Chain A
Amino acid sequence: MKIRNFSIILLGFLSVFPKEISAQPTPNPETANWMSSPAIIGTVLLIVTVLLIAIFILTVKASAYFSQLESKTEKNRKNEFGERLLDMNEAEIDTILEKRKKAAHYRLFGSELGSDLEVEDSRGIIAGVTHEPNNPLVDEKKKSPITYDTPFQLKKIITWYIGASVFWLVFGTLIGQYLGLKFLWPEMDSVSWLSFGRLRPVHTNAVFWGWASLTMIGLGHFVITRTSNNILYSYRLAWYAWWLMNLSVTIGTLFLMSGINNGGGEYREYIWPVALLFALGIIITFYNFYQTVARRKIEEIYVSNWYLLGGLGWTIILVIIGYLPMYQDGLGETVIQGYYMHQGVGMWFMTFTLGLIYYYLPSSLNKPIYSYSLGVLAFWTQMLFYTLIGTHHFVFSPLPWWLQTVAIVFSAGMLIPVVAGTTNFLMTMRGSWNEITKSYVLPFFLVGVVFYFVGSAQGSLQAFRFTNFVWHFTDFNVAHSHMTMYGIITFILWACVYAILPKLTGREPRQLLVGMHFWMAFIGLFAYMVSLMVGGTLKGLSWIEGEPFIQSVILMQPFWLWRAIGGTLMFISHLLFAYNFYVMTGSQKQTVENPTGITPGMGIPASNKQGLKNETVTF
């Protein structure tokens, strides 16, 4: 019933854009009225949505801060009280002790609530409750409550996967930042290994395969064991995969910098022997996860595992199709390129990350997911729609017109899994909004989920033919890919890392630094995105006007500057994240090894010292 209502809403939504969906070969539209194009209005609305939500979070935080300022006066009162105590003479103290003696022997009559007696509350037990935050600037967040008892082996694997990925994040975005600056100072260096063309794929591949993939797989190891209620099938295989994948990204990076490039197709710039290492890593992980699920100790397969196994399995097929040569001469390569680069994002990063949300979001909120069936609906529609839309990267190209049309139509269809997923996550959060201000994990989730809707819906709108007129080939594409790979994937992964690592190691990051990480990444992303979107639109319009090409380069300069500023904020936030990771895992040696290594967490209190200390703090 729920689903039926939901599809009716969706159909209504789709009918707003009938022209775009029917995807006829429409002639060039009037660019003079480009502002009133439904797809452009849609995009603007979506961006405004995120902005409003950011303003909402800021307002809530600000109001919390102001009420905290008010409580300062309360604090002063308390200090005065303390000083008075110190100044007391013997006689006064005697009086108080007398009073105390009386109170100790005092017995209730049973009619106090109805009486006119005033409460004697000289110690401020009732009136003087204040928080005394460690930090005077920001609201104090909740501590991570439970420490899971996890086999030491698994803890180590998860930590090392995330650790390697943190390295690749810092490395990959350092390269990205450097590339962004090259738009402003093209003469920064003239070293062949650092030239723009060679470094660009180094950046994309390092953050794709190094950062996002390794974190995802690391986090996946926890989900797969926990929801199967069993230990991992093989720890050794997990380590093999770790080595293979890191090796692949390392060699691939060196090869790309030295000019060994598979052919420039985005995200498959690694030549096949290097990509094979990565593919083997994924195949091993798939086998390991599959066997773990096959040996699960509960009957049902939790919906997260659908996504994890689906994502791994689809990616294996995808990489094989992407690299086999028999059909890739001439434009055959381009057909595969559209398919590969889109599914790389859709079937791997998005699918796997969704699986992670289905576990980490409800577990952070300590409540079940809103709807299992919506998750299942989203799973199958993800497979059906996402697979068909790769060619929307090649609208108006010499690829078959029917293929382009299919891609555009199903891009609109992507709204079904996206709305289903978003609804599911937001309904899970519903009723727990006040938790968000108290948690340092949930804001990451909220931003990720909102961007899941905004970024995906915006992507669907971008596939339409009119928007392709204005935006294709411009910097708008770069903005879109950062909105999704960063706004969705990276924010969700950060949420999951902050949600799980303190529970595994018993060490929490400093909340102020997590807050700074969050806001710098978010504001940085916004500056990055909006500047490139506005600049990209102006660039497209300049091309339509038929102005000399170099004009479009000149007009982009201020927008590239803003992009670099946003990028700098993002990069600094990654350094903070790396430091937070170090704090969360820093002294692994203190952790006492779980001697049996086979009791997957069943709520048994942690055996290590840090964990116990943590518990006394929260309870």
Chain B
Amino acid sequence: MLDFHKNHKLLVGTAMFGFFVLSILVALMPAFQIQQTQPLPTMEGFSEEELNGLHIYVQENCMSCHTQQVRNIEMDNSWGKRPSIPSDYYFSKQRQDLWRQSPSLLGSERTGPDLTNAGQRQPGMEWHLLHLYNPRIVVKESIMPSYPWLFELKEESKIKDTDYLVAVPQKFIHASNKKVVASKKALDLVAYLQSLKQAEMPQNPAVGFIPSSKKIEPRNNGGDAVLPDGEKLYMNNCAACHQAEGGGLAGAFPSLIGSPIINDENPETLIRIILEGYDARPEFGVMPGFQETLSDEEVAAIANHERSNWGNTAGAVTLDEVKEIRSFVNSLKQ
């Protein structure tokens, strides 16, 4: 009866049927099931600009280098405050149009950073535009491609009021008498990138990271309490704009070297800026606040790193000072 080697109908039929049944079990069924997932109540749909931005993200195939998934292992904690869950993708992974399917945002290569929380981590529009025009303006070692076709080079006289001017340093512009203007596409893409934030989970989140059994060796930074590694934190949170050597970027991000705020005997202003952000100087981009993302220990460690490097010589900040200022900031809010 089972004469597969003589009966081609039986052979091909069985092979195809078997494969189809297995495919139902392992692909179709789970796919249908997981498609039923609903969004979190705190999530919002995309605006028109953001959706356009997502489509440009797909068109340039950013997914080939950037993932958008925080795995449930502790090493991924640096990319988001909680592991990704199926609801996170409710709005972003919808079919694009008749011709193009739902974008494969999760990705398989992390040649560049994960972008799940890019909007939280790096919300400044100015930074994104500079970075898109040429990533090496803001991150010296970056290997990301430049996207000059999302921008226009215009002579100064032809710039309109509605144009969004990008403060690209002259050495990155080949035509010396022109200025860089962001196109609608660039602005849309940035709007999308800025919208990338992990939504708040409702009460008592069920998902957590699988903890690391690796012991983190505490390091004493000279403060009273044992603080985490300030340099590492600075590199992860601040260096994109203020640069690794603290020099900032003329016309976009202020230098921290010799800054009166950093070197002030009283660290209050510095700590408040780290917590609340800063938008007092029109010549520079807007700085986001890190209240939500950094703990007191981390803020103190970063402040100490800034106050004791690149020629800055202010005294150490203590954990208590940060705590005090944070509670003061919180009381202002209420």
Q: Is A118 an interface residue (CB 8 A)?
A: no
Q: Which of A198, A399, A553 contacts B142 (CB 8 A)?
A: A553
CA distance A183 to B142 in the complex (A): 10
Cβ A30 vs Cβ B214 within 8 A: yes
Residue of B nearest to A306 (CB): B11
> Are B34 and A399 in contact (CB-based, < 8 A)?
yes
CB closest residue in chain A, given B64:
A200
Check A330 against B86 for contact (C-beta < 8 Å): yes
Q: Which residues of A contact B41 (CB under 8 A)?
A: none
Query: Are B113 and A336 in contact, with the CB atoms below 8 A?
Result: no
CB-CB nearest in chain B for A388: B26
A20 to B111, CA, bound (A): 27
Query: Smallest distance from the beta carbon of B8 to chain A beta carbons, Å?
Result: 5
List the B side residues contacting A399 at CB < 8 Å.
30, 34
Residue numbers in B under 8 Å from A544 (CB-CB): 75, 212, 214
Q: Does B102 sit within 8 A of A, measured CB to CB?
A: yes
Q: Identify the closest chain B residue to A544 (Cβ).
A: B75
Q: Report B-chain residues with C-beta under 8 Å of the C-beta of A384.
A: 18, 22
Name the contact of A264 in the complex, choosing from B61, B76, B88 (C-beta under 8 A): B61
Interface string of B1-17 (1 = CB under 8 A from A): 00011101001100110
Interface residues of B in 235-271 (CB under 8 A from A): 235-236, 239
Residues from chain A with Cβ under 8 Å of B212 in the complex: 27-28, 544
Closest B residue to A340 by beta carbon equals B27
B162 at the binding interface (Cβ < 8 Å): no
Residues of A within 8 A of B63 (CB): 197, 264
Residue of B28, B59, B143, B236 touching A549 (CB-CB under 8 A): B236
Contact residues of A between 547 and 569, Cβ < 8 Å to B: 547-550, 553-554
A interface residues, how many (CB within 8 angstroms)? 96
Asked if A223 is at the interface of the complex by the 8 Å CB criterion, the answer is: no
B28 to chain A, nearest CB (A): 6
Chain B nearest CB, measured from A300 CB (Å): 5
B108 touches A266 (CB 8 A): yes
Q: Is B72's beta carbon under 8 Å from chain A? A: yes
0/1 interface trace, chain A 359-386, chain B, CB 8 Å (1 if under) = 0000000000000000010010001100
Instruction: Please tell me if the beta carbons of A263 and B100 are within 8 angstroms of each other in the complex.
Output: yes
CB-based contact B5/A300 at 8 Å: yes
Which residues of B are found within 8 Å of A333, using beta-carbon distances? 31, 93, 101-104
Q: Mark A437-474, 1 if CB is under 8 A from B, else 0.
A: 00000000000000000000000000000000100111
Residue of B nearest to A316 (CB): B16
Which of A2-10, A238-246, A320-328 lies at the binding interface?
A: A320-328
Instruction: Give Cα A301 to B84, complex, Å.
Output: 50
Closest approach, in angstroms, between the C-beta of B92 and any C-beta of chain A?
A: 9
How near does chain B come to A540, taking the closest CB pair, in angstroms?
9
Question: What's the least CB distance linking B147 to chain A, in Å?
Answer: 7
Is the pair A546, B75 in contact by a Cβ cutoff of 8 Å? yes
Name the residue among B19, B28, B148, B212 with the largest chain A CB count within 10 angstroms: B19
CA distance A566 to B19 in the complex (A): 38
- Do A321 and B23 touch across chains, with their CB atoms under 8 A apart? yes
Which stretch in A153-161, A169-177, A184-192 binds the other chain?
A: A184-192
Chain A residues with Cβ below 8 Å from B103 are 263-264, 333
Q: Mark B132-144, 1 if CB is under 8 A from A, else 0.
A: 0001100101111
B178 CB–A CB distance under 8 Å: no
Q: With contacts A328-B101, A383-B18, A387-B23 known, is A548 near B236, CB below 8 A?
A: yes
For the complex formed, measure the closest distance between the CB of A37 and the CB atoms of chain B, giving whole angstroms: 14
Known: A28-B210, A387-B22. A330 touches B12 (CB 8 A): no
Q: Which of A296, A325, A336 contacts B27 (CB 8 A)?
A: A336
Contacts of A260 in B (CB 8 A): 59, 99-100
Count, chain B residues at interface, CB 8 A: 87
- Give the residues in chain B near A337, CB-CB below 8 Å: 104, 106
> Chain A binding site: helix, strand, loop or mixed by DSSP?
helix
A28-B212, A330-B90 as given contacts; A396 in contact with B141, CB under 8 Å: no
CB proximity to A under 8 Å, residues B51-102: 58-65, 67, 69, 71-76, 78, 83-86, 88-90, 93-96, 99-102
A201 touches B64 (CB 8 A): yes
Are A301 and B5 in contact (CB-based, < 8 A)?
Answer: yes
Whether the pair B108, A196 counts as a contact (CB closer than 8 A) is: no
A195 interface contact, C-beta 8 A: yes
Contact A383 B19 (CB under 8 A): yes
A473 and B35 form a contact (CB under 8 A): no
* CB neighbours of B202 from chain A (8 A): none
Cα(A296)–Cα(B6), bound, Å: 10
* B72 CB, nearest partner CB in chain A, Å: 6
Contact B73 A262 (CB under 8 A): no
Q: Which of A196, A396, A398, A400 contacts B145 (CB 8 A)?
A: A196
- Kindly state the separation between the CA atoms of A19 and B59 in the bound complex, as whole angstroms: 42
A332-B31, A544-B214, A550-B141 known; A263 vs B101 contact (CB < 8 Å): yes
Other-chain residue from B4, B22, B62 in contact with A383 (beta carbon distance below 8 A) = B22
In the assembled complex, which residues on chain B have CB atoms less than 8 Å from the CB atom of A331? Answer: 34-35, 37, 86, 89, 93
A75 interfacial contact with B, CB 8 Å: no
Residue A259 at the B interface, CB < 8 A?
yes
For the complex, give the distance between the alpha carbons of A175 and B100 in Å. Answer: 24
Query: Taking the complex as formed, is B109 at the interface, i.e. its CB lies under 8 A from any CB of chain A?
Result: yes
Contact of B59 among A29, A261, A265 (CB under 8 A): A261
A121 within 8 A of B: no
Q: Of A198, A474, A554, which contacts B61 at CB under 8 A?
A: A198
A152: interface (CB < 8 Å): no
A332 vs B210: C-alpha distance in the bound complex, in angstroms? Answer: 24
B72 adjacent to A396 (CB under 8 Å): yes
**Which residue of the partner chain A has the closest CB to B70?**
A398
A29 partner residues in chain B, CB cutoff 8 A: 213
CB of B62 within 8 A of CB of A197, answer: yes
- The B-contacting residues of A in range 302-359, CB under 8 angstroms, are 303, 306, 309-310, 313-314, 317-318, 321, 323, 325-337, 339, 347
CA distance A352 to B195 in the complex (A): 45
Cα distance, A320 to B70, chains bound together (Å): 30
Q: Flag if B104 contacts A265 (CB, 8 Å).
A: yes
Nearest opposing residue in chain B for A335, CB measure? B31
Residue of B nearest to A259 (CB): B59
Q: How far is the CA of A272 from the CA of B98 in the complex (A)?
A: 9
Residues of B within 8 A of A347 (CB): 19
Among candidates B22, B94, B109, B213, residue contacting A388 with C-beta atoms closer than 8 Å: B22
Question: A293 within 8 Å of B by Cβ?
Answer: yes
Closest residue of chain A to B214 (Cβ to Cβ) is A31
Q: Is the CB of B31 within 8 A of A190?
A: no
Chain B residues with CB under 8 Å of A550's CB are 139, 141-142, 235
Q: Which residues of B contact A332 (CB under 8 A)?
A: 31-32, 34-35, 102
A331 to chain B, nearest CB (A): 5
Which of chain A's residues 191-214 have a Cβ closer than 8 Å to chain B?
Answer: 192, 195-198, 200-201
Question: Are B64 and A196 closer than 8 Å at their CB atoms?
Answer: yes
Query: Given A28-B213, A331-B34, A397 and B84 touching (CB < 8 A)?
Result: yes
Chain A residues packing against B (C-beta within 8 Å): 25, 27-32, 182-183, 186-187, 190, 192, 195-198, 200-201, 259-266, 269, 271-273, 290, 293-294, 296, 299-301, 303, 306, 309-310, 313-314, 317-318, 321, 323, 325-337, 339, 347, 376, 379, 383-384, 387-388, 390-391, 393-394, 396-400, 403, 406, 469, 472-475, 477-478, 543-544, 546-550, 553-554
Having A25-B210, A330-B86, one finds 12 other A-B pairs with CB under 8 Å, namely A28-B73, A197-B145, A198-B60, A260-B59, A294-B8, A321-B23, A323-B101, A328-B31, A329-B94, A337-B106, A398-B84, A546-B232
Provide 22 A-B residue pairs closer than 8 Å at the C-beta atoms, listed in order of the A residue: A27-B211, A186-B146, A197-B61, A264-B103, A271-B99, A314-B15, A329-B94, A330-B94, A330-B102, A332-B31, A332-B35, A332-B102, A334-B93, A335-B30, A384-B22, A388-B22, A396-B76, A399-B30, A400-B33, A473-B108, A473-B110, A553-B141
User: Which 10 pairs between the two chains have the least Cβ-Cβ distance?
Assistant: A197-B61, A473-B110, A396-B71, A265-B104, A548-B235, A332-B35, A332-B31, A264-B63, A339-B27, A327-B31
